[in-house]
Amino acid sequence: MGLIDSLFGEFIDVIAWTDDTSDTLVWRFEREGHEIKMGAKLTVREGQAAVFVHEGQIADVFPPGLYKLSTNNLPILTTIQHWDHGFESPFKSEVYFVSTRRFTDLKWGTRNPVMLRDAEFGPIRLRAFGSYAFRVTAPDVFLREIVGTDGEFTTDEISNHLRNLIVSRFANVIATARIPALDLAANYDDLGEFSRARIQPEMEKYGVEITKLLIENISLPDDVEKALDRRSSMGVVGDLRRYAQFQAAEAMRTAAQNEGNTGAILGVGVGTAIGRGMADALSQTTTGAMETPPPLPGDLQWHIAIDGVAQGPFTLAELAKKVTAGELSEKSLVWRTGMSGWEIAGAQSALSGLFRVAPPPLPGL
């Protein structure tokens, strides 16, 4: 130490830290030879704490306030030092200022998809990202467990560790929650709070508190999202006939704006016909399936020959109407599944009841 430094070392120190950064967690007060004169003034501002380290051992922690360093407010350090010169000579210690304010808008996200089993989609992969906030609650523990002797410690040096813990606990929470994938968005707040609660016990070991954990998005793989989009599109389209008519009307309006464009008008006609044909086909298929129920089990289906033309199939109830109308008699030809060829209706035991005639009148009446 030079003469000038020696002279200044005898002056009363003013120990303070004015943080002009947004990411500094710990800053060490630099003093020549680490000599701090007894009676120095220590200023600890709001959102800070000062940690005294003497000979590698944490001696005292000062909360916000103005202090004159003396034996009255340095009880631990006084015990360690054992001053015997009237407590006036400088003592060698390091002072670390720890920021205890809240650090916000730090990002987290899953590097790899989280595998889980969904009740509706089966096995799926999810990605998630969001933000979190933390602060130092125990400066001495934080200095001992995380910082060590680093003279300037920033959030970048701990954010990776915090992010890995968040992702790990989030994967466990979302896998055990068994919330359907389509309902996750309605539970972002709860999932974030559950994840924060799972992480906090581990953070206390480092003197850190996760004050907020936000989930901003949980997304499915691109292929699954595209399939959901197609499914949603079908629901939006609704009535295919009306949709085809709407498309045709839009195309005609576009063609009308381009006068003399014969190709466009022809395309409109072809597109309209195709759209109407598809709508009609689907409509007929749907209508036919709804209006013509299948035959009842065990109700035989018969084909009959009327004027040399095969007609049917008919149920027994329908054949009875044919008998009443005179279109079917015992001599008519009939056929059903399982018969080798056309046969006379009167020879069929299943049809004998259709041709019974009323009994003659009693004698004498």
Helix axes 156-177, 188-204, angle to 10 degrees: 130
Please report the pLDDT score of residue 209 as a whole number.
Answer: 95
Residues 118 and 199 in one domain: yes
DSSP calls for 69-97: -STTT-HHHHHHH---STT-S-EE-EEEE
Residues 211 and 322 in one domain: no
Report yes or no on 150 lying in a domain: yes
Please report the pLDDT score of residue 27 as a whole number.
Answer: 94
Residues 14 and 63 in one domain: yes
Report yes or no on 267 lying in a domain: yes
H/E stretch holding 330 reads none
Residues 284 and 328 in one domain: no
Residues 306 and 198 in one domain: no
> Burial level of 120, CB count in 10 A (0-12/13-18/19+)?
exposed
Write the CATH number for 317. 3.30.1490
Residues 190 and 92 in one domain: no
Q: What are the structure tokens assigned to 364, written together?
A: 């004498």
Report yes or no on 296 lying in a domain: no
Task: Using DSSP, state whether 62 is helix, strand or coil.
Answer: strand
Residues 90 and 33 in one domain: yes
How many angstroms separate the CA atoms of 273 and 248, rounded?
A: 9
Residues of the chain falling short of pLDDT 50: 1, 3, 6-10, 80, 82-89, 262, 264-266, 268, 270, 285-290
Please report the pLDDT score of residue 276 as a whole number.
Answer: 58
Residues 44 and 128 in one domain: no
> Which of 70, 99, 128 finishes a domain?
99
Residues 78 and 151 in one domain: no
Please report the pLDDT score of residue 137 as a whole number.
Answer: 95
Paired with 275 in beta bridges are: none
When divided into structural domains, the chain yields a total of 4
Residues 171 and 88 in one domain: no
Report yes or no on 227 lying in a domain: no
> Which of 99, 121, 155 finishes a domain?
99
Which residues form the domain of 19? 3-99
H/E stretch holding 318 reads helix 316-324
Please report the pLDDT score of residue 153 as a whole number.
Answer: 93
Token pair 């004698």 is at which residue? Answer: 363
Please report the pLDDT score of residue 189 as a whole number.
Answer: 92
H/E stretch holding 186 reads none
Please report the pLDDT score of residue 290 as a whole number.
Answer: 46
pLDDT in tens, 110-131: 988 888 888 888 888 899 999 9
Residues 154 and 201 in one domain: yes
H/E stretch holding 45 reads none
Please report the pLDDT score of residue 33 as a whole number.
Answer: 62
Residues 159 and 255 in one domain: no
With a CB cutoff of 8 Å and minimum separation 6, the contacts of 218 are: 126, 127, 128, 174, 184, 185, 188
Report field, pTM of the whole predicted structure over 0.85: no
Token pair 């209006």 is at which residue? Answer: 291
> Which of 99, 125, 159 finishes a domain?
99
Report yes or no on 364 lying in a domain: no
Write the CATH number for 115. 3.30.479.30
pLDDT in tens, 70-85: 755 565 555 545 444 4
**DSSP letter, residue 269:** H
